[in-house]
Amino acid sequence: MNEGKKTLVLIRHAKSSWANPLQSDFDRSLNERGEKDAPLMGERLLKLNILPDLIISSTAKRAAQTAKKIAQALHYDIGKIKWDDGLYHCIPQVLEETAIAQSDELQTVFIVAHNPGITDFVNELSDQFRIDNMPTCGVVATTIQAKSWAAFHSAQKEVFLFEYPKNL
């Protein structure tokens, strides 16, 4: 792997259930479509050979379920997922800080999070990439021209993948 390059993969949680209107937002689980879409996107990443050295996920139920299903499809040890309460409905700066905080030994990091922060963050990655809304279970991958995650903010970034279940 190129030591002067890092890969950040941003994933919005899969479609969640609104079946119980009294349930807290944090505790909403995936609906039937989300249950199918998450492994589908994991299989797509596997086919593209985009494999995580680390998966970091929001602890909200739907994000955690998405992270686990993607991890399984990628043959990634679920026990190695890093759970981060701060990713629940966070602002873009928190996503950037999460990337910056990673060990330079890691080449490819996946972050599973929520809208609107994830859409806002991916729109800050490159002048050549804009989306109106990150779809549920959408994936955006970017290369960062840097040897260190600490250089994330100022490093040149190139979005090379934007996929989501309805597009497959």
CATH number, domain at 54? Answer: 3.40.50.1240
Domain that includes residue 156, residue range: 6-15+25-167
Q: Is residue 66 part of a domain?
A: yes
Helix 32-47 to helix 61-73 angle (10° resolution) is 40
- Predicted confidence (pLDDT) at residue 67 exceeds the cutoff of 50: yes
> pLDDT band for position 56 (50/70/90)?
very high
Two tokens at 29? 């689980």
Average pLDDT over residues 92-103: 98
- Predicted confidence (pLDDT) at residue 13 exceeds the cutoff of 60: yes
* pLDDT of 4: 87
Q: Is residue 20 part of a domain?
A: no
Q: Is residue 1 part of a domain?
A: no
What proportion of the chain, given as a percentage, has pLDDT over 70?
98
Domain total for the chain?
1
> pLDDT band for position 150 (50/70/90)?
very high
- Predicted confidence (pLDDT) at residue 25 exceeds the cutoff of 90: yes
